């Protein structure tokens, strides 16, 4: 697992946005062979989306041959609700780039048969050729997508009851009124994420520090579902300094020769942990 640390959240976002753009360019997608990108919501990826939009506007990247699958969606609020993940994605990203609307996939939390919707979602991912890169965030309780503590690490897209911690966390988007926060969501499973050819998680802010420690330095377990990334061959976490506050393994910050930039080295004792794949 690679751990990339940047001083500030903004710099972590720049790293992630550059990484995604480079991946898409290297892939050189065509209509017959699109790049399949998994996407999250939440506060952490907003500046990544902003940067991707900036790069699109600067003519550095096209999303014409990109197919997207979002991680999750609330159940029980209308699609055009200001806090639905559908609204979020169009507001922050899709409306500002050239992705064909038919290439966008977001689970439908208003489907008449939610179980069938989840099955169809998994089938659509397979039909698209699988996800090339899944971008993820992390909840304060270490959840990935809405795979709350206790989720099976073999889970696939399904209906999930939100943990009370998540309801409290997400109340900030619902006028701080927990009664307005949906209690159910459709979410891809942990295994759905692990099936992607590559996973990149952005983890920023002191609020995520305990979760990052548990996911990165404890064993793989279903109470901190991001820890499942340890099982992935191509997983990378991009964090800011605040998110590393609780890490047990020390991080040494050194100024790169001839530059104002800092490099971060994750160490155990005197040895440097190989934080590459
Ligand atoms: C929700 C989403 C997660 C996201 C999390 C964290 O729970 N389902 O995918 O990672 O929010 O959001 P934030 O980045 O705002 O802390």
For the domain that residue 174 is a member of, what is the CATH number?
3.40.50.1360
State how many domains the chain has.
1
* Ligand 1 centroid from CA 72, angstroms: 10
Q: What is the DSSP string of 163-179?
A: PHHHHHHHGGGTTT-GG
| Span 222-239, average pLDDT | 96
Q: Quote the domain boundaries for residue 179.
A: 2-274
Which of these is catalytic: 73, 148, 169, 195? 148
Whether the per-residue pLDDT at 271 is higher than 60: the answer is no
* Tens digit of each residue's pLDDT (9 = 90 or more) over 67-112: 999 999 999 999 999 999 999 999 999 999 999 999 999 999 999 9
Euclidean distance between CA atoms 20 and 199, whole angstroms? 11
* Tens digit of each residue's pLDDT (9 = 90 or more) over 147-166: 999 999 999 999 999 999 99
Euclidean distance between CA atoms 194 and 226, whole angstroms? 10
∠ CA 221-114-46, rounded to 5°:
60
Whether the per-residue pLDDT at 265 is higher than 80: the answer is no
pTM tops 0.85: yes
Euclidean distance between CA atoms 7 and 13, whole angstroms? 11
- Residue 141 annotated as catalytic: yes
Residues 6+ apart with CB under 8 A from 173: 83, 181
Which of these is catalytic: 143, 232, 240, 241? 143
- Residue 72 annotated as catalytic: yes
- Residue 246 annotated as catalytic: no
The two three-digit tokens of residue 168, written as one number: 């409290």
∠ CA 26-30-36, rounded to 5°:
70
At residue 36, the 3 state secondary structure works out as: strand
């Amino acid at each position: 697992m690679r751990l990339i640390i940047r001083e500030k959240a903004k710099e972590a976002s720049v790293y992630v946005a550059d990484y995604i753009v480079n991946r898409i360019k290297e892939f050189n997608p065509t209509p017959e062979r699109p790049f399949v990108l998994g996407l999250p919501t939440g506060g952490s990826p907003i500046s990544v989306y902003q940067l991707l939009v900036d790069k699109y506007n600067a003519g550095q990247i096209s999303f014409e041959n990109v197919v997207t699958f979002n991680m999750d969606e609330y159940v029980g609020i209308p699609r055009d609700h200001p806090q639905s993940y559908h609204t979020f994605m169009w507001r922050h990203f899709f409306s500002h780039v050239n992705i064909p609307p038919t290439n966008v996939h977001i689970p439908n939390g208003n489907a008449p048969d939610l179980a069938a919707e989840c099955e169809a979602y998994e089938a659509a991912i397979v039909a698209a050729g699988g996800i090339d890169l899944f971008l993820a965030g992390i909840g304060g309780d270490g959840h990935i997508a809405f795979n709350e503590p206790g989720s099976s690490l073999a889970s696939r897209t399904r209906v999930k009851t939100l943990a009370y911690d998540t309801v409290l966390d997400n109340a900030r988007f619902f006028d701080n009124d927990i009664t307005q926060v949906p209690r159910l969501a459709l979410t891809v499973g942990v295994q759905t994420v692990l099936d992607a050819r590559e996973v990149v998680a952005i983890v920023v802010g002191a609020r995520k520090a305990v979760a990052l420690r548990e996911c990165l330095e404890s064993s793989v377990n279903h109470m901190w579902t991001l820890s499942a990334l340890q099982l992935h061959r191509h997983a990378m976490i991009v964090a800011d300094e605040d998110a590393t506050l609780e890490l047990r393994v020390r991080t040494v910050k050194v100024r790169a020769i001839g530059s104002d930039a800092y490099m971060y080295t994750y160490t155990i004792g005197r040895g440097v942990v190989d934080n590459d794949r």
